[in-house]
Amino acid sequence: MQDVKKGQALELSKKLAAYSTALTYDELPAEVVEFTKLCILDYFGSAIAGSGKAPVRMIAELADEMGGKDQARLFTGGKSSVLNAAMVNGAASHIVELDDIHKGSIIHAATVVIPAALAIAEWKRLSGEDLITAVVAGYEVCFRIGEAVSPSHYYYWHNTATCGTFGSAIAAAKLLGLDEEQTIAALGNAGTQAAGLWEFIEDGAMSKQLHTAKASMNGVLAALLAQKGFTGPRKILEGDRGFFKAMSEEYDETRITEGLGQQFKIMENSFKIHASCRHTHHAVDMLIDIFKERKPSLEEIDSVKVESYQVALNITDDADPQTEYAAKFSLQFCSALALLKGSASLADFNEQSLWDEEVRALMKKVEVITEPGIDASYPKKWGAAVEVVFKGGDSVKMATEYPKGDPENAVTAQELYDKFIGMASDFPAEKRERIAKKLVDLEKVQNIEELMDNL
């Protein structure tokens, strides 16, 4: 058994490289193409919405200060080198906390893989088909590596950054047309640059944006060097002094190869359609449904009960949030907002809504509790139940096992389109619709440079 494992172990980078170099657009099922386009549309929304935030502006200022050739467009404005573009755009797309998430690998792949792919595709004037294929390969590789090291790696390491670097390298390698040996080198030098510690979360430092910025950039760097003949360790994952052993208490290398080439793991990706903590989404989904059905006024509502798993309450039981950010992590606030306004989008979280008198009044009627049955199913299911009792004495009860956006409770293309339009609300309507339309028909784009010129 150990020998079989060892036998496999000699081949991991080679197998990933063989998979990636062989993948073609033509073999992608139509549903994979459609889904991948939604991932890219969703990325654009996050990158546009995040581009004005302070940490992103600082990284963009740095890129401007350093300079670079006009190779790829920055979501913060202007063009710079592909490395700078991967860095700035990797920072921009993670900060509003609305980017996609893969539960199995705990990776937000879009913010690392897509900026890398976009930068190379724009620079080399490649097509929408090329971009889609590279994103599929990049997601596949980083999801597999993340699954192999989860959950132990995640304690210290920010998977999106560490494992994401491999995804960025694969997407860039694919678009640069690297051969198998060069792709192995790119993976090796991606892994030996992999970094990003969770320590920043202890004091809320800005490092989270630096992590995704650098992961995207470092993967591109590894691929660009590999193209020049720069070699990297061939066994970066399973080697005795490699990524698995150095950075994970436990790991399962079978996750790298099992079903490789037969599955499309990008299809397991989850989307966030609300701008609040993921642990509030189940309740928000249902309360928005009730809003749509009845549009209740504050006066009509007698009480709201939200039942969920313990972890959700640990993180989101906050009856009196004091900041916009804290409001996103308050189950009471998000529930009241959803039931009164029918929405919990980016535009709904601001200083004004934070102190909205009706929302604050309804929050006093919201009770949040742990329900043992729901708790027992966590984390496989992120479930919740809500009960809204009206003054007239009637009530509505609802329950869900998966927040909307999980593959088991998928959002529609229209919902993601609407989300994008909301995320890009700083753009004139014509501009954001033009970009969205291009992205919806991405496979028809002949030259990514032309797409990016719309920004």
- Residue 5 binds a second copy, judged by CB under 8 A: no
- Residue 422 binds a second copy, judged by CB under 8 A: no
Residue from 18, 195, 398, 410 binding a second copy (CB under 8 A): 195
- Residue 251 binds a second copy, judged by CB under 8 A: no
Question: Are residues 399 and 323 in contact, defined by beta-carbon separation less than 8 angstroms?
Answer: no
Instruction: Name which of 219 and 422 has its Cβ closer to a second copy.
Output: 219
Instruction: Name which of 78 and 373 has its Cβ closer to a second copy.
Output: 78
- Residue 210 binds a second copy, judged by CB under 8 A: yes
Instruction: Name which of 188 and 403 has its Cβ closer to a second copy.
Output: 188
- Residue 246 binds a second copy, judged by CB under 8 A: yes
Choices 28-36, 52-60, 100-108, 288-296 (CB under 8 A): range interacting with a second copy? 52-60
Residue from 18, 225, 361, 398 binding a second copy (CB under 8 A): 225
Q: Encode 38-58: b = buried (16+ Cβ within 10 Å), e = exposed.
A: bbbbbbbbbbbbbbebebbee
Residue from 25, 156, 390, 427 binding a second copy (CB under 8 A): 156
Q: Minimum Å distance from CB 123 to a second copy?
A: 10
- Residue 180 binds a second copy, judged by CB under 8 A: no
User: Prior bond to 55 cis, omega within 30?
Assistant: no
Choices 16-24, 60-68, 270-278, 359-367 (CB under 8 A): range interacting with a second copy? 60-68
Residue from 201, 326, 376, 429 binding a second copy (CB under 8 A): 201
Choices 16-24, 234-242, 278-286, 297-305 (CB under 8 A): range interacting with a second copy? 234-242
Q: Minimum Å distance from CB 337 to a second copy?
A: 29
- Residue 221 binds a second copy, judged by CB under 8 A: yes
Q: Minimum Å distance from CB 84 to a second copy?
A: 8
Task: Tell me the C-alpha distance between 191 and 233, whole Å.
Answer: 9
Instruction: Name which of 90 and 233 has its Cβ closer to a second copy.
Output: 233
- Residue 69 binds a second copy, judged by CB under 8 A: yes
Q: Minimum Å distance from CB 117 to a second copy?
A: 17
Closest CA to 163 of 236, 259, 87, 83: 236
Closest CA to 388 of 281, 307, 275: 307
Task: Tell me the C-alpha distance between 306 and 84, whole Å.
Answer: 45
Instruction: Name which of 213 and 313 has its Cβ closer to a second copy.
Output: 213
- Residue 235 binds a second copy, judged by CB under 8 A: yes
- Residue 81 binds a second copy, judged by CB under 8 A: yes
- Residue 282 binds a second copy, judged by CB under 8 A: no
Residue from 167, 196, 403, 405 binding a second copy (CB under 8 A): 196
Q: Name which of residues 115 to 144 contact a second copy (CB under 8 A).
A: none
Query: Which residues are near a second copy by CB under 8 A?
Result: 54-55, 58-59, 61-62, 65-69, 71, 81-84, 155-157, 185, 188-189, 191-203, 205-207, 210-211, 214, 218, 221, 224-225, 228-236, 239-243, 245-247
